[in-house]
Structure 1
Amino acid sequence: MFDPKKLEQVAKQIQEAMPQPVKALGQDVEQKVRQTIQAQLSKLDVVNREEFDVQTQVLLRTRQKLNELEQKVAQLEAMLADKSE
């Protein structure tokens, strides 16, 4: 769901910001930070970029169809108005 490269980058930045004695713990700290970030991100109500892009395309197609239907309804209403006169 989340980009592992970005997650790794954030974990590395956090590790680099830590004092030298903490940095010495190395792999263990990085792994714990990564696990913590993943756990916190999984609690958020978010979607990944791919899902967002798919839904954006669906909404655009739906809007286009809605506009077409509105135009057809307007044409039909105009035809009915002409016939009733």
Structure 2
Amino acid sequence: MIDPKKIEQIARQVHESLPKGLRELGDDLEKKIRQILQAQLNRLDLVNREDFDVQTQVLLRTREKLALLEQRLSALEAKNGDVPAIKQEPEQQ
């Protein structure tokens, strides 16, 4: 969800950039601008920065755990001699 403070700030900037005669329409125009911005931004299906950063950290931890598990599996396979160690593919980013 988009931060309502950011939307309010953008709406205020648009409102303040209007000629004085239009600015006098006041609250109705600002409310309408805010509603339109909110509706358009909601259609974009965006995530906020905090959620993005949290998911990035989760992904990094998951990759680290996967790398450790792959190393352990390779070591166990090499020790047992049952199955040849799996050749690891380069990590895609």
Which amino acid in structure 2 is aligned with residue 66 of structure 1? Answer: L
- The answer for the alignment partner of 2:49 in structure 1 is 49
Deviates more, 1:32-41 or 1:66-75: 66-75
Tell me the C-alpha RMSD between the 2 structures: 1.6
Deviates more, 1:30-39 or 1:46-55: 46-55
- The answer for the alignment partner of 2:87 in structure 1 is none
**Cα distance in structure 2, aligned partners of 1:65 and 1:37:** 41
Q: With structure 1 as the length reference, what TM-score do the two structures score?
A: 0.84
Quote how far apart the aligned CAs of 1:43 are: 0.3
- The answer for the alignment partner of 1:12 in structure 2 is 12
Counting matched residue pairs gives 82
- Structure with higher helix content: 1
Q: With structure 2 as the length reference, what TM-score do the two structures score?
A: 0.78
Identity, in percent, stands at 59
